[in-house]
Chain A
Amino acid sequence: VVFILCTRISKPLVQLTESAKKLSRGDFSGSDDIQIRSQDEVGVLSETFREMSNALEDSYKKLEDEVKERTLDLSQALAQLEMASKHKSQFLANMSHELRTPLNAILGYTELILDKIYGDVPEKIHEVLGRLEKNGRHLLNLINDVLDISKIEAGRITLSLHDYSMQGLVQTTITAVESLAAEKNLELKATIPSNLPSVKGDEQRVAQVFMNLIGNAIKFTEEGEVKVEVAVSDGSFLVSVSDTGPGLSEDDQKRIFEEFHQVDTSSTREKGGTGLGLSIAKRIVQMHGGKIWVESNLGKGSTFWFTLPVRVDKQKEIG
């Protein structure tokens, strides 16, 4: 009798415990297993448990539905935002293109007058036209850079991936900027290992990165040297461009790759910078699957580093 009484009490309690365990795991099926036969306290407990379980299940379902709904709303909002951002970049790309056409004409005529194709030009007018041309070129560079960056952001730049020679690329870049360094009496050194593996990437775009970093280094260094070093390890190039220029503060180092961030607006304007070059360089490196960063000490020069996978077979999506 004692045994039967014990099982009578313990069986539903064991069932209840099992159901409670299931419930704690988020499984609501347990309450259906509870068989209530008795009218005593255990029976009441079981009934209450079942009610509680059902109520919990209801509110859980409601919560799940709400989360689903909100997630859908959010993903729709995100898609709309992405579309809007693409439209903005598309607009900028089109606008830059439209702006360049008349500006080219302005620059073209200015050059012709400066070159005295329409006859003699008085000294004073020649000087003013020279300033007109310089400002026009600055505007053109700005527009070109905006066009570049908006095309990258609109996802409209596709890397043209081919085999090329890294030695050749560095040599061409060095040749292009040699005269700029010579004008300022800066030493320009390049170290490239001779046995480089065969390279695949967008040569023109990579050249743009080199051109930007070396160009900047020369622009902002008044004396000393600009050094370009290329090394290979683990299937990646490690490139550094170091200078003996003024260096960058920690704050500037953090923000130098942001659009339109210029260290000193007045001096950079004088030097013809647009404040977009490094942002473009960063994106080109990222599209190749590489990284770019800077190390610098105020007064002690800067070193810009970037990595570049030796063989890039597929363009990286960048956010």
Chain B
Amino acid sequence: MSRNILIVEDQEDNRIIMKDLLLSADYEVIEAVTGEEGVTAAETHRPDLILMDIQLPGLDGYEATRRIKDNPDLKEIPIIVVTSYALSGDDVKAFEAGCDAYIAKPFSTRELLAKIREFVP
């Protein structure tokens, strides 16, 4: 069974950390740097889960989430939104955009892995 995870994150270090973490747990990883790339990658790769950063250049994480959830072919893909530190209201906005879960930065990699396993064991 394939276990593809799409990471949409503009910061290289965060992308590497998430990628290395997921590879070590035997997931397959697709990377996107912008919101637009994220939406396109979701369409072409149909991942099993998407990790979506909020602060992205251009199309932000909320809008990218909304577009993916508006697409009937993609709306079943769980999206975990990664929000910035304790900006109150971010979680509400993330759920309004249609995400399935959110995790606040700074997250521990252990926490993130546990959250991912809830959706893709």
Chain A residues with a Cβ under 8 A of chain B: 100-105, 107-109, 111-112, 115, 117-118, 140, 144, 147-148, 157-158, 160, 202, 204-205
Contacts and interface: CB of A to CB of B under 8 A. Distances in A.
B20 A111 contact: no
Interface stretch (B30-38, B58-66, B69-77, B103-111): B103-111
B14 interface: yes
A285 B85 CA distance: 21
A115 B110 contact: yes
Contacts of B17: 105, 108-109, 112
18 contacts: A100-B106, A104-B13, A104-B105, A104-B106, A105-B17, A107-B106, A107-B108, A108-B13, A108-B109, A112-B17, A112-B24, A115-B109, A115-B110, A117-B24, A118-B20, A144-B85, A204-B88, A205-B88
Interface in B72-108: 85-86, 88-89, 105-106, 108
Given A100-B106, A101-B11, A140-B106, A160 B85 contact: no
A101 B17 CA distance: 13
Contacts of A102: 13
Contacts of B106: 100, 103-104, 107, 140
B103 to A, nearest CB: 13
B109 A111 contact: yes
Most interface-central of A103, A107, A147, A202 (chain B CB within 10 A): A107
A108 B110 contact: no
Contacts of A112: 17, 20-21, 24, 109
A244 to B, nearest CB: 32
A139 to B, nearest CB: 11
B85 A147 contact: yes
Most interface-central of B88, B89, B105, B110 (chain A CB within 10 A): B88
Contacts of B105: 100, 104
Interface residues of B, number: 16
Contacts of B85: 100, 144, 147
A160 B24 contact: no
A158 B85 CA distance: 15
B79 to A, nearest CB: 21
A171 B108 CA distance: 24
Contacts of A107: 106, 108
A60 B97 CA distance: 67
Contacts of B21: 112, 117
Given A100-B85, A117-B20, A160-B89, A111 B13 contact: no
Contacts of A101: 11
A107 B111 CA distance: 13
A135 B21 CA distance: 22
A100 B11 CA distance: 13
Interface in B1-41: 11, 13-14, 17, 20-21, 24
Contacts of B11: 101, 105
A115 to B, nearest CB: 7
Contacts of A105: 11, 13-14, 17
A100 B108 CA distance: 14
A104 B12 CA distance: 12
Nearest to A107: B106
Contacts of B13: 102, 104-105, 108-109
A111 B108 contact: yes
A111 B110 CA distance: 8
Contact of B14 (A103, A108, A158, A205): A108
A160 B14 CA distance: 29
